[in-house]
Structure 1
Amino acid sequence: MEMISQKNKIFFLFHIFAIGLTDSLLFIGIGKLLIDKLNLLIGASLLFALNEFSKILFQLIFSTIDKKFSIKKSIIISELLQSIFLFFIVIFKFYSLTALIAILIILNFLESFFKINEFNLILTISQKEDRKKYNSYISTINQISRVLGFVIGGYIIFNSQYNLLFIISSILFFISAIFISLIKIEDIKLSVDTSWKKLVKRDNYYILIFTFLIATNTVILSANSILGFKLALNTREIILYQIANAIGSSLATLIIKYKSSLINKNENNSIVFGLILQGILFYLFNFVNEDKRILLFISISMISFINLSIYNTKLQDYAETKFGSKIYSLRQLSKSLFNFFGISILTYFTIQLKIDYQNILTIFCFLTVIANILFIKNNITTYIVESNK
């Protein structure tokens, strides 16, 4: 039994590696195609906004379906559909703007289907006592594969071989589905437990607050990538800046792994200080050259990832005492809503007010600092698990 458990964990890590590669390949490839057809800011913002729109669309549709889905089969079917879909893109050369938008919506819609089940699969194959350690392995593998994906994807788009990029992604989805099929577990069936009304229920108050805070950090993380597209003068810089973001997340994973006790003791101060520092770093983009920009991207990404880890852990601890694994779909709905509107509003103000994107992000960071301080002062984001037992 122990051997089966270990094999399950290893197969899942191979799945994570394949998906991490695929995510970064498609991100850099479709992102580059979009900004070639639109201006840099609108194209990059559209990339992220459509990602979130697809997730909201998924929640809307599946929350009305009174049916339970096998977590293992759902992941396999979703990945095989994405593999087939990408193969057809290559055959019929769907590279127009309308086609790219449709591709993004469909791929992210299918991804939402397996992400919810992936979350529950982790709970099934890992034990509570070693889950934190296993999650660190997942994060490390994911970040390594993303950096590698950006390097490979960058080389491919530098040579304008977009067909090759989609072919590799299609193959990786197929390989990932094979690894999931090798995992041996009891067939568990779950429904997409989500509802618009649940978001504003009193019992879900803390979930909504923490999801809002998670989303503000995710918006900063996404905006950091958008800024990478906007500031890049050529394909080489686009690749460098996205690799820098992935490196920042990787460094954050190491810091969380080896300095978690220090962060846990000072988590509120860590979050506020980190957000203030991010605001300053975004402002510094006005004065630095390409080499120093890489350091700024790494630092901002690293801080966001650490803050996200703190918020996610708090939310998981609270949710586990009240909701168990059902929390994921509800969190995903509210997070997607905040992200979609956050990215869209930041882009809108940048265009309408004719302010540089990095300066808008500086203002956003300082507004987020104020929100965090208010929540901390009112004991909303401090020790919520203990106070709600």
Structure 2
Amino acid sequence: MEMISQKNKIFFLFHIFAIGLTDSLLFIGIGKLLIDKLNLLIGASLLFALNEFSKILFQLIFSTIDKKFSIKKSIIISELLQSIFLFFIIIFKFYSLTALIVILIILNFLESFFIISEFNLILKISQKEDRKKYNSYISAINQISGVLGFVIGGYIIFNSQYNLVFIISSILFFISTIFISLIKIEDIKLSIDTSWKKLVKRDNYYILIFTFLIATNTVILSANSILGFKLSLNTRQIILYQIANAIGSSLATLIIKYKSNLINKNENNSIVFGLILQGILFYLFNFVTEDKRILLFISISMISFINLSIYNTKLQDYAETKFGSKIYSLRQLSKSLFNFFGISALTYFTIQLKIDYQNILAIFCFLTVIVNILLIKNNITTYIVESNK
């Protein structure tokens, strides 16, 4: 049994590697096509906004999933559908703007479906005592495959071979299904209740506040990536900025791992200081050279991932013991809704007010600081920490 368990974990990590590679390939490939058809800011913003729109659509359609689909089959079917769909794109050359929008919505919709199954599968193949360590492996594999995907995708796009991006992605989806099929578990039915409606109540305002705060940080993280697209003068720089984002994530993981006690003692101060620093760093983009901008980009990404970790932990401490996996759907829905409208609004104000995107982001960070301070002063964001003492 121990050998089967270890093999299951290894097969799942191979699946994660294939999917991470695919996601970054499609992200850089479709993103570059959108940018070429529109412009840097609008194209990159549309890429992120459509991703969130698909997740919102999924949540609204599947408000409750309860023992309707098996875990393994739902992953395999959704990935096979994505693989087949990409081949249709290659055959019929659907590269118009409308076609690209539809492609993004469908692919992200299907991805939302198997993410829920992955969540269940991790719980099934890992034990509680080693889950944190296994999750760190998953995170590391995601980051490595993401960087590799950006490098490969960038090389392909540099040679204008967009078809090859879709061909490789389609094959990787198929390979991923093979690894999932090799996992030997009792293929139970999906039992996560994703009904977020039950949680949107006045009594649960702590949950709503923390899902909102998580969403504000997600907007900053997404907007930072969009800024990377906007500042890029060529394909090489686009890849460089996305790799910098992955480096920021890796540094955040190391800081959380080795300085978790220090962060836990100063959670609220860490968040407020981090947001103020992000606002200053966004403003500094106006005055520094290209190589310094990369360092600013890495720092902003790192701070966002640290803040997200703090918010997520606080939310889990309070909500998951009381509501179980139901909180997962509300967190995802609020993140997607706020990210969709947040990114759209930031882009709109940048264009209408004719202000540099980085300055709009600096203002957004400072406004978020004010919100956090007001919540701290009213003992709202400290409730979870105090209640667990």
Given the two structures, how large is their TM-score scaled by the length of structure 1? 0.95
Structure 1 outlier segments of 4+, above 4 Å: 64-67
Between the aligned partners of 1:188 and 1:327, the Cα distance in structure 2 is 21
How big is the shift at 1:136?
A: 1.4
Do the aligned partners of residues 69 and 326 (structure 1) sit closer, same or farther apart at CA in structure 2, a change above 3 Å counting? farther
Q: CA deviation at 1:65?
A: 7.1
| Matches of 2:196 and 2:116, distance apart in 1 | 17
Is the Cα contact below 8 Å between 1:63 and 1:192 reproduced in 2?
no
User: Per-residue CA shift, 1:21-75, capped at 9, x if unaligned?
Assistant: 1111111111110010002111110000000101111111112777622122111
268-277 or 313-322, which deviates more: 313-322
Report Cα offsets for 1:170-217 as digits up to 9, x if no partner: 111111111122222222223563446335213532222111111111
In the TM superposition, what whole-angstrom CA distance separates every residue of 1:144-195 from its partner, at most 9, and x where no partner exists? Answer: 1111111111111111111111111111111111112222222222356344
Structure 2 distance, partners of 1:233, 1:142, is 27
The answer on whether the counterparts of 2:55 and 2:333 sit within 8 Å (CA) in structure 1 is: yes
Mapped contact 2:245–2:298 kept (Cα < 8 A): yes
Q: Distance in 1 between matches of 2:261 and 2:185?
A: 33
Point out the more displaced range, 65-74 or 229-238.
65-74
The verdict on how the C-alpha distance between 1:124 and 1:314 changes in structure 2, with shifts beyond 3 A counting, is farther
Per-residue deviation at 1:270?
1.4
Q: Is the Cα–Cα contact under 8 Å of residues 144 and 250 in structure 1 kept in the other structure?
A: no
Deviation at 1:388, TM superposition (A): 7.8
Contact kept? 1:58, 1:113, Cα under 8 Å: yes
The change in CA–CA distance for 1:201 and 1:385 in structure 2 (over 3 A counts) is: farther
Q: Trace 1:65-214 onto structure 2 (pairs within 5 A).
A: 68-190=68-190, 193-195=193-195, 197-214=197-214
Percent identity of paired positions between Structure 1 and Structure 2: 95
Q: Distance in 2 between matches of 1:125 and 1:320?
A: 20
Say which SS state the counterpart of residue 190 (structure 1) adopts: coil
Closer/same/farther in 2, CA of residues 199 and 357 from structure 1, 3 Å limit: farther
- Post-superposition shift, 1:353? 1.0
Structure 1 equivalent of residue 29 of structure 2: 29
In the alignment, structure 2 segments of 5+ residues that lack a partner are none
Q: Partner of 1:189: helix, strand, or coil?
A: coil
Task: Mark the CA change 1:207 to 1:3 in structure 2 (over 3 Å): closer, same or farther.
Answer: farther
Q: What is the CA-CA distance between 1:143 and the residue it aligns to?
A: 0.8
TM-superposed deviation, 1:281 = 0.6
Tell me by how many angstroms 1:323 deviates. Answer: 2.0
Instruction: Check whether the contact 2:280–2:362 (CA below 8 A) recurs between aligned residues.
Output: yes
User: Structure 1 residues 276, 203: CA separation in 2 closer, same or farther (over 3 Å shift)?
Assistant: same
Tell me: CA distance 1:262–1:66, structure 2 relative to 1, closer, same or farther (3 Å).
Answer: closer
Given that 1:13 and 1:141 are in contact with CA atoms closer than 8 Å, whether structure 2 keeps it comes out as: yes
Partner SS for 1:105: helix
**Residues 1:130 and 1:64: Cα distance change in structure 2 (over 3 Å):** closer
Structure 1 unaligned blocks of 5 or more: none
1:337-389: CA deviation from partner (whole Å, max 9, x where unpaired): 11111111111111111111000000001111111122222222225176289
CA contact (8 A) 2:66 2:193 kept: no
CA distance 1:187–1:317, change in 2 (3 Å): farther
Please say if residues 193 and 330 of structure 1, whose CA atoms lie closer than 8 Å, have aligned partners that are also in contact: no
Q: 2:77 & 2:385 partners in 1: Cα distance?
A: 37
Q: Deviations over 1:97-140 (max 9, x none)?
A: 01100000000000000111211222222222222222211111
Distance in 2 between residues matched to 1:194 and 1:155, nearest whole Å:
40
Q: Secondary structure at the match of 1:120?
A: helix
Which range moves more in the overlay, 378-387 or 150-159? 378-387
For residue 288 of structure 1, give the secondary structure of its aligned residue in structure 2. coil
